[in-house]
Amino acid sequence: MTQGPLTTEAGAPVADNQNSETAGVGGPVLVQDQLLLEKLAHFNRERIPERVVHARGAGAYGTFTVTADVTQYTRAKFLSEVGKQTETFLRFSTVAGNLGAADAVRDPRGFALKFYTEEGNYDLVGNNTPVFFIRDAIKFPDFIHTQKRDPYTGSQEADNVFDFWGLSPESTHQVTWLFGDRGIPASYRHMDGFGSHTYQWNNEAGEVFWVKYHFKTDQGIKNLTAEEAEILAGKDPDSHQRDLREAIERGDFPSWTVYVQVMPAAEAATYRFNPFDLTKVWPHADYPLIEFGKLELNRNPENIFAEVEQSIFSPAHFVPGIGPSPDKMLQGRLFAYGDAHRYRVGINADHLPVNRPHATEARTHSRDGYLYDGRHKGAKNYEPNSFGGPFQTDRSPWRPVPVSGVTGESVTPVHAEDNDFVQAGNLYRLMSEDEKERLVTNLANAISGVTRDDIADRAINNFRQADEDFGKRLEAAVQALRG
């Protein structure tokens, strides 16, 4: 900011910023003191509504660098050559907590990444887990209601949490992740990120591939035990945000090696389980990780509110060569995220510096609305026009997907090995004995807070179906805690 006199919002110089204007010495304040009214009115409106989910977060700018040739899979320009760099902005977050909640809690972490590409912004909105609790977006509001404060008690209720999970067996895999060692990362720098959903890549020849993104932390995985997190959350609620900011300030730039799993489109229909099911991972033995990039965070935002809280991300923000898949959770998010931003930040949220394209220019016919900045000046606001306005390219960013059947409320297609419990059991059996013990302890502590036996029994039974030993140990631990 340039040096000079303090001014009002309209630019007029301020004579006295220490004393309100009154009717005589010690008298009542006058309504004509417009500086006072302007400051108080602005202060009352300094906060936009917080996010319903992912309210608590931190962010930083960085650079994505292509390290391997993937042009055989995608025509996206920002991935077109080895060594090419793209500016990014990454927002980390927890899911269930309010804006002032502590960082060190057992909760999935959002991993929302914006690429400022020359073909427009590409948003990859994922988590620090490769799977999620549900596979259909119609269940998302119900799920989040169980994680947030109960409208009667005003607190998060174990009954709500485990009632929903017990009645939604597809959640068993993600709950096993959440209550295992990686359920509470030690910092944002020491966790992996995942695109989680399946996405489409398509190349110049028009060939289609289904892909999953993986961001492997170069700092190494570090986690907190439940006991360590409880102490840290009380001592320093801002622990993760502070750690990220201070690491970048001292030049210790966090980085992630970026991989992709690639499935030729023709293999999806006959794969042993539904490849678009968000509750499942693709085994690396079937589709190995292919390294193709490096992500580094190297610049802190100058204003948390302007750049982190007003940042918006939408999985519908694609670029040519990348597109959606039939993943039903992803399909719902394509609408829901943009709609949330239009409500929370405003219809012109994309005009804000953190959200607008940095490597190209947005050219649309949208006009007016809250906080419209007049950028289009006298240009025509319709298409087609003969006044030199922007025009369509006649080439879709992604390839069409064949569909068949009748309309209706359909369940997810069943493949040969579709099962809600197999991958949760596989994850449990991969753990060491110490990891299993901590997982069972964490889950038992949470389930023991349930007030109804049938809710607790149903929740335990899901883990028993994933692995008999898992369920047996969990049942014994819960019984011991519940007396």
- Residues belonging to the active site: 54, 127
Whole-angstrom distance, CA of residue 375 vs CA of residue 388: 16
Q: What is the dihedral of CA 407, 408, 412, 416, to 10 degrees?
A: -70
Q: Find, among 480, 199, 408, 465, the residue nearest to 324 by Cα.
A: 199
Between CA 86 and CA 445 the distance in angstroms is: 45
What does 442-472 look like in DSSP terms, one character per residue? HHHHHHTT-S-HHHHHHHHHHHHHH-HHHHH
How far is it, in rounded angstroms, from Cα 378 to Cα 112?
36
Residue 415: name the closest of 283, 287, 263, 274 by CA: 274
Which residue, 420, 110, 412, is CA-closest to 240? 110
Tokens encoding 194: 């995942």
Residues 6+ apart with CB under 8 A from 255: 217, 218, 219, 294, 295, 296, 297
Is the Cα dihedral 27, 31, 35, 40 positive or negative?
positive
| CA proximity to 325, closest of 281, 274, 389 | 274
What are the strands, taking DSSP E only, across 67-207?
A: 85-94, 109-117, 120-127, 193-194, 199-202
C-alpha dist (Å) from residue 239 to 189, 236, 244: 12, 5, 9
Q: Which pair of structure tokens corresponds to residue 65?
A: 């660098």
Tell how strand 208-217 and strand 193-194 pair up: antiparallel
Q: How many CA atoms lie within 13 A of 123 on its CB side?
A: 21
**Amino acid occupying residue 361:** E
d(CA 465, CA 332): 29
Picking from 319, 292, 295, the residue whose alpha carbon sits closest to that of residue 69 is 292
Tell me the two tokens of residue 309. Answer: 């809280």
3-state secondary structure of 258: strand
Backbone dihedral region for residue 374 (phi beyond 0: left; psi -120 to 50: alpha; all else: beta): left
- For the chain, helix, strand, coil in percent to 5 are 30, 15, 50
